[in-house]
Amino acid sequence: MNDVSDISQVSNEEPLEILKHPDPRLRERAKPVRRVNRNLRRLIERMAKTMYEADGIGLAGPQVGVMERLFVVDIGEGLKEFINPEILEASEEQVELWEGCLSIPGLRGLVPRPSRVRVTALDRHGRRFWVDADGWLARVIQHEYDHLEGVLFLDRALRVVEVPPESRLRVVFFGTSPFAGTVLERMLEREVTPLLVVTQPDRPRGRGQAPAPTPVKRLALEHELDVAAPTRLRDAAFVERLKALEPDVIVTAAYGRILPEDVLAVPKRAAVNVHASLLPRWRGAAPIQRALMAGDERTGVTILHMSAELDAGDIILQKEAPIEPDDDFGSLHEKLAELGAEALLEALRLIAKGEAPRRPQDAEGVTLAPPLRPEEEWIDWTRPAVEVRNHIRALTPWPGARCLHGAELWKIARTELAAAGEVRGGEPGEIVAVRPERGFAVACGQGALWVTELQPAGRRRMRASDFLNGHRLEPGERLSSGAPGDEDA
User: Binding of ligand GNR at residue 66 (CB under 6 A)?
Assistant: no
Q: Nearest distance from residue 161's CB to ligand GNR, in Å?
A: 14
Phi then psi dihedrals of residue 288, to 5 deg: -70, -45
Q: Looking at 50-93, which runs of residues are DSSP E strands?
A: 58-60, 70-73, 80-90
The reply to whether 408 belongs to the active site is no
Nearest to 300 by CA among 252, 271, 337: 337
Q: Nearest distance from residue 108's CB to ligand GNR, in Å?
A: 8
Interface with Ni ion: number of residues (CB under 5 A): 1
Interface with ligand GNR: number of residues (CB under 6 A): 16
Q: Which is nearer to ligand GNR, 27 or 218 (CB)?
A: 27
Name which position in 68, 144, 387, 430 contacts ligand GNR (CB under 6 A).
144
Task: Using alpha carbons only, give the angle 359, 361, 367 rounded to the nearest 5 degrees.
Answer: 160
Q: How many residues does the chain have?
A: 489
Contact 361, 312 (CB under 8 A): yes
Query: Which are the contacts of 453, defined by CB distance < 8 A and separation ≥ 6?
Result: 412, 413, 414, 439, 461, 462, 463, 464
Q: How far is CA 82 from CA 122, 135, 165, 221, in A?
A: 6, 18, 32, 35
The reply to whether 102 belongs to the active site is yes
Q: Which is nearer to ligand GNR, 27 or 243 (CB)?
A: 27
Q: Nearest distance from residue 83's CB to ligand GNR, in Å?
A: 16
User: Binding of Ni ion at residue 101 (CB under 5 A)?
Assistant: yes
User: Binding of ligand GNR at residue 139 (CB under 6 A)?
Assistant: yes
Which helix (H) or strand (E) segment holds residue 267: the answer is none
The reply to whether 334 belongs to the active site is no
Task: Identify what 176 binds: Ni ion, ligand GNR, none; CB under 5 to 8 Å per kind.
Answer: none
Sign of the C-alpha dihedral computed for residues 241, 243, 246 and 248 taken in this order: positive
Q: Nearest distance from residue 192's CB to ligand GNR, in Å?
A: 18
Task: Identify what 140 binds: Ni ion, ligand GNR, none; CB under 5 to 8 Å per kind.
Answer: ligand GNR
The interface region with ligand GNR, picked from 54-62, 163-171, 286-294, 462-470 by CB under 6 A, is: 54-62
User: Binding of ligand GNR at residue 15 (CB under 6 A)?
Assistant: no
The reply to whether 416 belongs to the active site is no
Task: State the Rg of the chain over Cα.
Answer: 31
Task: Identify what 59 binds: Ni ion, ligand GNR, none; CB under 5 to 8 Å per kind.
Answer: ligand GNR
What is the identity of the amino acid at 129?
F
Phi then psi dihedrals of residue 118, to 5 deg: -110, 125
DSSP 371-394: PPPGGGGB--TTSBHHHHHHHHHH
Q: Reduce the DSSP state of residue 418 to 3 states and report it.
A: coil
The interface region with Ni ion, picked from 97-105, 208-216, 248-256, 328-336 by CB under 5 A, is: 97-105
Q: Which of 144, 166, 377, 430 is catalytic?
A: 144
Q: Which is nearer to ligand GNR, 20 or 383 (CB)?
A: 20
The reply to whether 63 belongs to the active site is yes
Q: Nearest distance from residue 121's CB to ligand GNR, in Å?
A: 16
Q: Reduce the DSSP state of residue 99 to 3 states and report it.
A: strand
Catalytic residues, by residue number, are 58, 63, 101-102, 143-144, 147
Q: Which residues bind ligand GNR (CB under 6 A)?
A: 56-60, 63, 99-103, 139-140, 143-144, 147
